[in-house]
Amino acid sequence: MTICMVPRRKLIVLLLLPALAVYSVFQVLINSAISTFYPEKGIALPIIMYHSLLKDPARAGKYILSPDVLREDLQYLKEKGYQTITMTQVIDYVYGEGVLPEKPVLLTFDDGFYNNFTYLLPILEEFDARAVLSAVGEYADLTEKSGDKNPNYAYLDWEDLTELNTSGRIEIQNHSYYFHSENIRLKAKLQSNGDAEVYAQDVVTDALMMQNALLQKSQVKSTVYTYPHGDIGSCCDQALREAGFLATLSCSQRLNHITKDPDCLFSLGRYNRPSGISSGSFFGTIH
C-alpha cells in the first residue's frame, strides 16, 4: 500500500501538520486576547525629586543633600545599568519621535537653587548624566534684582537658566511664576470660591506667565509644568494640557509606566530624595 512506502518520520510529520496548524491559529488568538485584556504596561520610569545641594552636614534634611550623596546616587544608578534622560526624551518617545533606553531614570531638581549651578552641573558632567530643573519665576527675579549668588540660599537668575539650558546637561522646565508661594496659592483658591475650574485657570494664567518669561528672558521653550509643592487642583491637568503643556510632574511617590498614550505624561509620580539614607536603601524602595 502507498502508506507503507512513506518513511516513518515523514509520516509522523505529515500527520502532525494539521495539529500544528490548529495550534498556531490557537496561539495567535491567545496572544490577541492577552493584548486585549492585559495591555502593555509600558516602560518603567522612576523619577527622583531633588532640591538643594549643600556641603554643610548641619543643613542636610528632607530637601537638602550633600553633593557627595548625589555622586553616590549617580554611581549606584550607573552600576545598576540606569541611564539618565530628560523630559523631552520621554515626550518624544510617547509621540513616536524617539526611543528610550532599557532602564531610564529621570532626575529632577525643583525651585532653581543657585547651588544647582555650583554643584549639580559639574557632577552631571563627571558622570555624563542629565537632569531636569524646574525654576520659579519670582525667585529668578529676586536674584536678578539683588545680584546675590550665595549657594547657601540664593536662586538662579534668568541668565543662569539660559546658561544651564545650553549646557546640554540640564533641561529647564516650568515650576510656576508666583504660585510657589503658599499665600498666592491659597489666595487663588479662596478667590475661586471652591470652583475647581476657576482655580485651574488661575494656575494656567500663572504658568503661562512663566512660559513667556522663560522664552523671552532665557530662550527656553518649556513643555512641562511641575506643580508647586505637588498641589494638583481638580481640572488642573486638563487645563494645562489645553494651554499647550505636554506633561506635568507631581509629588506623588509612585513608579511611572510610559506608553504611547499621551495621558501617561500627566501627574507623573516622583520619589523625594531625603538625606540620611544610603543610595542602595533609597532606590531599593522604588518599585
- Grid coordinates representing 260 are 504611547
Predicted pLDDT at 234: 81
Run of H or E residues at 73:
helix 67-79
From 179, 183, 168, 52, select the one nearest 110 (Cα to Cα). 52
Closest to 227 measured CA to CA, from 218, 217, 240, 214: 240
State how far the Cα of 225 lies from the Cα of 175, in Å rounded to an integer.
Answer: 6
Phi, psi of 271 (to 5 degrees): -100, 120
Cα–Cα nearest to 247, from 274, 227, 267? 267
* pTM exceeds cut of 0.75: yes
**Exposed/middle/buried for residue 240 (C-beta within 10 Å: 0-12, 13-18, 19+):** buried
Bridge partners of residue 64, in order along the sequence? 52
Question: Quick one: residue 99, left, alpha or beta (phi over 0 = left, psi -120 to 50 = alpha)?
Answer: beta
pLDDT (0 to 100) of residue 7? 55
Q: How many CA atoms lie within 13 A of 12 on its CB side?
A: 2
Which helix (H) or strand (E) segment is 86 a member of? Answer: none
pLDDT tens-digit profile of 240-279? 999 999 999 999 999 999 999 999 999 999 999 999 999 9
Between CA 48 and CA 270 the distance in angstroms is 5
Q: Name the percent of the chain lying above pLDDT 70.
A: 86
pLDDT digits (tens, 9 = 90+) for 97-153: 999 999 999 999 999 999 999 999 999 999 999 999 999 999 999 999 999 999 999
Sequence-distant (6+) residues with CB within 8 A of 129 are 74, 84, 107, 123, 169
Which whole number is the average pLDDT over 4-25?
46
| Lookup: cell for 219 | 530662550
User: Per CATH, which fold does 43-284 belong to?
Assistant: TIM Barrel (3.20.20)
- For the chain, what are the domain ranges? 11-40, 43-284
Please tell me the distance from the alpha carbon of residue 177 to that of residue 197, in angstroms, as a whole number.
19
List of E strands, the chain: 43-45, 47-50, 52-53, 64-65, 83-85, 104-111, 131-135, 170-174, 224-226, 247-249, 256-258, 271-272
Q: Stretch 60-68: mean pLDDT, rounded?
A: 97
Q: What digits encode the pLDDT tens for the residues 169-189? A: 999 999 999 999 988 988 888
pLDDT per residue as tens digits for the range 195-215: 999 999 999 999 999 999 999
The predicted structure's pLDDT at residue 21? 43
Short-list 199, 101, 201, 180, CA closest to 134: 180
**pLDDT over threshold 50, residue 232:** yes
What is the DSSP code string of 179-211? TTSHHHHHHHHHHTTT-HHHHHHHHHHHHHHHH
